[in-house]
Amino acid sequence: MSSHGPPQPSAAPPGPSETDPVRTPHALDDGELELAVVLAVLRTLTAWECFGEGSERLLRELAGALGQMAAALWLPQGESLIARAIWSMPGVDGGALKHALGGWRVPRGVGLAGRAWELGEAVDRPVCARADAASGQQLPPQGLGATLAFPCAKSDEVLGVVELYSSARPEWSGHVMQVLAHAGAGFGALFARRRGELSLTPLSLREVEVLTLAARGLSVCGIAETLMISPATVKTHLEHIYRKLGVRDRTAAVANALRAGFIE
């Protein structure tokens, strides 16, 4: 007679990847959805190193947790939102999606992303589809539609909006919406510390680099050597930084930028 040992515990499932099938929200109850969102947020926050990889992971993790087919991270630029990061699951024409969303400028209050920006809260229903259409708001390609949007906010300042898309419109519970509100607060706090990465700063990327090195105590020559530019160019960047921040010297510029979250 053969005997079998005790069953071995299975490993915890990893987060969603580019090739993982996305689960439908109907297959999970509210408690499972809430837990999936919390885990997605924690994985993203702890792994965040730079905007490019971090934003892609944010969208992939949240879309996978909520069973959505695509997602976009919108950032304020003047009076409109622009799509700074876009993710889609296999089977969705990612190129067409990026082409469509990349050309949009979403006004405040228009569509789910615009409403989340205006209200500062998660939304899952448009106020008036006809009004959105009249304003020029279009639908994503391949039959996708916006199903949910929530702001990434610090205090009352919305620093970004996450919008999810699918071919079907699920019903989101109040509990799930509340968890997403907390997720938005977490990402808002992260974005507030990394405004330079989000281009929410008057400084250029090169000026952010120069000021970051200056904050670490490097001299003009040290900054020039690190960035492989001339000392004269470093001095020019510093002059531009002082003018943009309204300060007179390096110490004040560093203090101003740290306080505003332009550098870390």
243: CATH: 1.10.10.10
18 domain residue, yes or no: no
1-5 long-range contacts (CB < 8 A, ≥24 apart) are none
pLDDT tens digit string along 125-138? 876 554 454 445 56
Domain count along the chain: 2
12 domain residue, yes or no: no
pLDDT of residue 262: 77
Say yes or no: 41 and 150 in one domain: yes
Report CA torsion sign: 113, 85, 170, 189.
Answer: negative
* Distance in angstroms (rounded) separating the CA atoms of residues 20 and 108: 34
Domain residues for the domain of 244 are 205-260
* Distance in angstroms (rounded) separating the CA atoms of residues 101 and 92: 14
Say yes or no: 168 and 223 in one domain: no
Which residues, 6+ apart, have CB-to-CB distance to 14 below 8 Å? none
Say yes or no: 54 and 139 in one domain: yes
Which two three-digit tokens encode residue 21? 């099938």
**Shortest CA distance to 262 belongs to which of 248, 244, 249, 236?**
244
pLDDT of residue 29: 76
Given 196, 224, 250, the domain boundary residue is: 196
pLDDT of residue 200: 63
State the pairing for strand pair 80-88/70-77. antiparallel
Residues 187, 57 contacting (CB under 8 angstroms): no
- The strand pairing partners of 153, in sequence order, are 158
Residues of the chain where predicted confidence (pLDDT) is lower than 70: 1-28, 127-139, 141, 199-201
146 domain residue, yes or no: yes
Given 196, 219, 245, the domain boundary residue is: 196
pLDDT of residue 220: 96
pLDDT of residue 30: 76
122 domain residue, yes or no: yes
pLDDT of residue 72: 96
149 domain residue, yes or no: yes
13 domain residue, yes or no: no
* Distance in angstroms (rounded) separating the CA atoms of residues 63 and 15: 11
